[in-house]
Amino acid sequence: MSETVDPQFLPTARTTLKRLPKRAAYDRETVYAILDEGFVCHVGFAIDGSPYVIPTGYGRDGDVLYIHGSAASRMLRALEQAVPVCVNVTLLDGLVLARSAFHHSMNYRSVVVFGVASVVSDEGEKLRALRTFSEQVIPGRWDDVREPDEGELKATLVLKLPLAEASAKIRTGPPIDDEPDYKLPVWAGELPLHTVSGKPVADPRLPDGIEPPGYAVHYTRRRA
């Protein structure tokens, strides 16, 4: 795990918000809280002049973002060649219903990260990264399951992206209507949205007597 040098990300030409700059956040605490709550990111990159955006899982360890997948993955094989990437994570918190169609919006928290990913070749770091992925999705699961064997490690490619150029964008609160529209007899407000889990469903081949662990029964996404 790397040490945090500065509690603030230095805004760059790519991370500075030009539209609605008041919604920007450049402190690591805010950026990392958003990253830690999610576990699916979208990775954007260009190969031979063609753009690609691929959804994939991720995990954060200190000031590093780990991305993983099959060693045969086109995306990961492309990024293995030190290709610049843009990674986005978005958490949707609610729908914002305004009095006019134009001012409808969403409440959200998002992070964008720029950088160049590199391959994790050290087996020890690779195993730690895989644990990071597991703990990012469902804390406590890694300690209950069989760890990857040598063949599975070889079949998995892990990339790491330093968290050096990043920013967050956040919208909260009620709709913002044009002043004359506040007199319209139309309901306006927020419709909160939450990620919730259902009751665990056992594998049909699970032997009798094995109960679901507490982290599955009481699963919830963490939020700072």
Per-domain residue ranges for the chain?
21-217
* pLDDT, position 88: 97
Q: What is the pLDDT of residues 110-127, one digit of tens each?
A: 999 999 988 898 999 999
Q: What is the pLDDT of residues 167-176, one digit of tens each?
A: 999 999 999 9
Q: What is the pLDDT of residues 193-206, one digit of tens each?
A: 998 899 999 999 99
Average pLDDT over residues 75-93: 85
CB atoms under 10 Å from CB of 173, counted, come to: 10
Residue 171 CA to residue 22 CA, distance in Å, equals 9
pLDDT-derived band at 5 (thresholds 50, 70, 90) equals low
Any idea which fold 21-217 has?
Pnp Oxidase; Chain A (2.30.110)
Q: Provide the b/e sequence for 41-69 (b: ≥16 CB within 10 Å).
A: bebbbeeeeeeeebebbbbbbebbbbbbb
Average pLDDT over residues 6-14: 92
